[in-house]
């Protein structure tokens, strides 16, 4: 996530920089630094923003879970299935998708940003 994407996410959440700082449990200066590009946005902050953005959508009708979208044959072994969080698979580390299996959480997030599951929520 770059500074423009960060600012766009904040605006989609309809939060001021001060409000977002409080919501994420960080300083206002950190938010300024992210939006100015002085500091890179940490992976855990990016994930929290995606979580908040995906939670804005209240209409869960017709939402397809990741195992349905990807026709997964290992779903019973996967944390997304175990916790019935197929719309939050991108948020969970240790999922068994072929595209992310065996990757670090940071590497997984890069793949998930291009995945239809996360993209459908944003």
**pLDDT over threshold 70, residue 55:** yes
Pairwise pLDDT comparison (45 vs 63), residue with the higher score = 45
Q: Give one DSSP letter per residue of 79-96, joined into a string.
A: HHHHTT-TTSTTTSTT--
Over residues 71-80, mean pLDDT: 87
Angle at 75 (CA atoms; ends 79, 121), nearest 5 degrees: 70
- Residues in CB range of 2: below 8 A, 6 or more apart: 37, 41
Query: What six digits make up the tokens of 33?
Result: 């630094």
- Residues in CB range of 28: below 8 A, 6 or more apart: 17, 18, 21
Please answer whether residues 90 and 117 qualify as being in contact, where contact means their C-beta atoms are separated by less than 8 angstroms.
Answer: yes
pTM over 0.75? The answer is no
Domain range summary for the chain, segments of one domain joined by +:
3-56, 66-121
């Amino acid at each position: 996530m770059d500074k423009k994407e960060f600012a766009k996410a904040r605006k989609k959440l309809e939060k001021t920089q001060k409000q977002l700082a409080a919501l994420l449990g960080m300083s206002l200066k950190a938010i300024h630094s992210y939006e100015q590009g002085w500091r890179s946005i940490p992976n855990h902050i990016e994930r929290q923003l995606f979580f908040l953005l995906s939670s804005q959508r209240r209409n869960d009708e017709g939402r397809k879970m990741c195992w349905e979208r990807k026709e997964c044959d290992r779903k019973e072994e996967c944390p997304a299935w175990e916790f019935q969080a197929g719309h939050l698979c991108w948020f969970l580390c240790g999922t068994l998708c072929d595209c992310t299996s065996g990757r670090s959480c940071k590497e997984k997030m890069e793949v998930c940003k291009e995945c239809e599951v996360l993209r459908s929520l944003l």
